[in-house]
Amino acid sequence: MMPGVASEEILGRRSLNRALLDRQLLLRRTVRPVSGTVEHLIGLQAQSIAPPYYGLWSRLQGFDPHELGRMLTDREAVRMTLMRGTVHLVTVRDALLLRPLVQVVIERSHNGAFGRRMGGADIGELERAVREELDGEAHGARELGRRLVARGIGEDVEAMGNAVRAHVPLVQVPPRGVWGKSGQAKYATLESWTGGELERNPSIDEVVVRYLGAFGPASVMDMQNWSGVTKLRDAFERLRPRLLAFRDEAGRELFDLPDAPRPDPGVPAPVRFLGEYDNVLLGHADRTRIIPDDFPWTEMLAPGRFVSNFLVDGMLRGTWWIERDGKRSAMLGIRPFGELSPADREEVAAEAERMLEFSEPETASRKVRFEPAVP
């Protein structure tokens, strides 16, 4: 099929699943640089500290978490608010490209939650004040909010603390986000921390192509859901001559790169352990290619804990978490969705043990515990 030619070929869920897993490096661990992987994936969801490390461990052979930590301390990568108004870990190049493109998304999210509490604060004055307060010293969001209110900019400390991250491109400075380190989220401006400048004319077309390379085949709505950016139909139409077009089982048009991998749906997929909110679970409007229609999200949570996710045969099949007792012991809990076959249970247990070895190398005692399956 030539690029730009529409196809009547229908891609079923399993075909889409295997294509997604291949693009996301989850069919087989690969050998490639950490920085190149982060860019290929267009960043890693990083609401919490560990998930980017878990995600790269599941994708790369011999992944060294300290290499990703080094990228943060050496200012080659940053943690900041980006797609969907959530925190991502990205390379500096991508931070400077993506932040202008998703700025409207971030502001929209802030206004929805805090717009009525802004007290008529002047945004230009707010931006200038934040840059002055961060000149030479990092501060937390609440401290910045307090300082703005003290300057007479707004009256609600919480709202102003959120506004600083929405209206000014701020990055979380190390040790926040560095493997094995701890520290509260303190901020510097992206430009002062990296020495770079935001792209003046960022190309959404470039990002569409990269998105398809990491998440395709996909629809316009899929990319809009992943990015939070709306009205992307025009970008896809501009690129149509360079793309292939398919249909999913519901008749939706899907776009893809001509040379992108689309494996046979019969290709086996190994068990993979992912961090919470891993990119692969959030990349589409229609997530049925990887999340079962009836996945019981509420029942799969573990009270009082963050939970991560695992895949069996390419589909979301449960949640997991680690309970620690200092360096004395670590227990990885597993809650499956539906009963696992003996072979699947054995593979899940083996991968869980490997995850514990990676995550808790200095812990004296490590064990895996299966909880009753959620029907």
pLDDT at residue 150 in the model = 97
Cis peptide before 217 (omega within 30 of 0): yes
Amino acid, single-letter form, for residue 10: I
pTM score, whole prediction: 0.94
Strands of 216-375, DSSP E: 244-248, 253-256, 272-274, 308-312, 315-325, 329-336, 365-370
Helices 157-167 and 141-150 cross at an angle (nearest 10°) of 110
Question: What is the arithmetic mean of pLDDT over 320-327?
Answer: 92
pLDDT at residue 297 in the model = 87
d(CA 79, CA 88): 6
- Could you read off the pLDDT of 193-248 as tens digits, one per residue? 999 999 999 999 999 999 999 999 999 999 999 999 999 999 999 999 999 999 99
Question: What is the arithmetic mean of pLDDT over 323-342?
Answer: 95
Alpha helices by DSSP H, listed for the chain, are 13-23, 34-40, 51-57, 65-73, 92-114, 123-133, 141-150, 157-167, 190-194, 204-215, 220-227, 233-239, 279-282, 297-300, 342-359
Q: Is the pLDDT of residue 304 over 80?
A: no
On whether the CB atoms of residues 165 and 187 are closer than 8 A, the answer is: yes
Q: What is the DSSP letter of 333?
A: E
Classified as helix, coil or strand, 182 is: coil
Q: Which of 14-18, 297-301, 360-364 has the lowest mean pLDDT?
A: 297-301
Q: Is the pLDDT of residue 5 over 90?
A: no
Question: What is the arithmetic mean of pLDDT over 161-177?
Answer: 97
What are 90's strand-pairing partners?
78
Question: What is the arithmetic mean of pLDDT over 30-43?
Answer: 98
Alpha helices by DSSP H, listed for 175-278, are 190-194, 204-215, 220-227, 233-239
Q: Is the pLDDT of residue 7 over 80?
A: no
Q: Is the pLDDT of residue 3 over 80?
A: no
pLDDT at residue 307 in the model = 82
